[in-house]
């Protein structure tokens, strides 16, 4: 028995799954979802194609797993970025910088989803929408902690505005090499912070 085969079988399932997801994300980003094959992913990981199907069920299932892993990573990074920060302004700025740094680390994958979102399938689209809902909830919770006098409805609306702005600006951001994560965050801060800082308390 080859040593590599023995080692492969001893790898814990969770670790093997992370390895598969990491390789799949790279191949999806490089080839595009439609042009990627489970055969190539299995070969790069060093497992059989049936094992990929055992773990993820289908190619779409593997893509969904990639998006879900990125979602968890983004949540952890965003939450950590605002821990211990004393002001709403700096917390928002830190969270925004973290978001755009996350886009930097997944730049090709972001472009893939933007270009092929219509063909990746409903399960993947639902997972992408889950990222939006997750970040909206993170922002709403953040705003409520720092701006307790603002109506909850307004804070939810502000959170939606920030998430929408981030998503659209990220599409512009990934196409440029002359804009840093700090620059992108500063652009959104200039656009939204005045309204957050002053608050209209539901003025019509």
What pLDDT, in 10s, does the model give residues 155-189? 999 999 999 999 999 989 988 899 999 999 999 99
What per-residue confidence (pLDDT) applies to 5? 47
Give 137-151 pLDDT, tens digit per residue: 999 998 898 888 889
Cβ atoms of residues 7 and 90 within 8 Å: no
Q: Confidence class of residue 15 from pLDDT cuts 50, 70 and 90?
A: very high
Q: Confidence class of residue 16 from pLDDT cuts 50, 70 and 90?
A: very high
Instruction: Check pLDDT > 50 for residue 201.
Output: no
- Supply the range of the domain harboring residue 39: 3-198
Percentage above 90 pLDDT, the chain: 60
Distance of alpha carbon 204 from alpha carbon 202, whole angstroms: 6
CATH number, domain at 82? Answer: 1.10.357.10
CA 169 to chain centre: 14
Instruction: Check pLDDT > 90 for residue 107.
Output: no
Return the DSSP state at 119. Answer: G
Domain contains 204: no
Distance of alpha carbon 11 from alpha carbon 29, whole angstroms: 26
Domain contains 203: no
The total number of residues written for the chain in this structure = 204
Per the structure, the count of domains in the chain is 1
Distance of alpha carbon 181 from alpha carbon 202, whole angstroms: 32
CB atoms within 10 A of CB 59: 20
Give 31-49 pLDDT, tens digit per residue: 888 899 999 999 999 999 9
- Please name the helix (run of DSSP H) or strand (run of DSSP E) that holds residue 155, with its range, or none: helix 152-173
Distance of alpha carbon 159 from alpha carbon 139, whole angstroms: 5
Cβ atoms of residues 161 and 135 within 8 Å: no
| Least confident stretch, 3-12, 128-137, 149-158, 177-186 | 3-12
Distance of alpha carbon 111 from alpha carbon 30, whole angstroms: 10
What per-residue confidence (pLDDT) applies to 1? 43
Nearest Cα to Cα of residue 63 among 94, 34, 43: 34
Domain contains 182: yes
CA 94 to chain centre: 16
Prediction pTM value? 0.82
């Amino acid at each position: 028995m080859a040593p590599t085969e023995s080692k492969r079988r001893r790898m814990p399932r969770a670790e093997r799954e992370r390895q598969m997801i990491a390789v799949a994300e790279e191949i999806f980003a490089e080839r595009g979802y439609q042009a990627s094959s489970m055969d190539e992913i299995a070969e790069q990981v060093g497992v059989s194609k049936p094992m990929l199907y055992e773990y993820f069920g289908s190619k779409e299932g593997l893509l969904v797993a990639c998006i879900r892993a990125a979602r968890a990573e983004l949540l952890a990074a965003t939450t950590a970025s605002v821990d211990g920060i004393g002001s709403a302004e700096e917390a928002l700025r830190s969270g925004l910088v973290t978001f755009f740094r996350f886009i930097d680390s997944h730049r090709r994958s972001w472009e893939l989803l933007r270009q092929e979102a219509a063909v990746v399938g409903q399960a993947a689209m639902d997972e992408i929408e889950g990222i939006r809902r997750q970040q909206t909830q993170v922002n709403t919770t953040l705003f409520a902690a720092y701006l307790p006098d603002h109506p909850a409805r307004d804070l939810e609306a502000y959170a939606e505005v920030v998430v929408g702005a981030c998503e659209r600006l990220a599409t512009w951001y990934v196409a440029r090499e002359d804009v840093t994560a700090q620059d992108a965050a500063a652009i959104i801060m200039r656009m939204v912070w005045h309204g957050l800082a002053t608050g209209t308390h539901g003025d019509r």
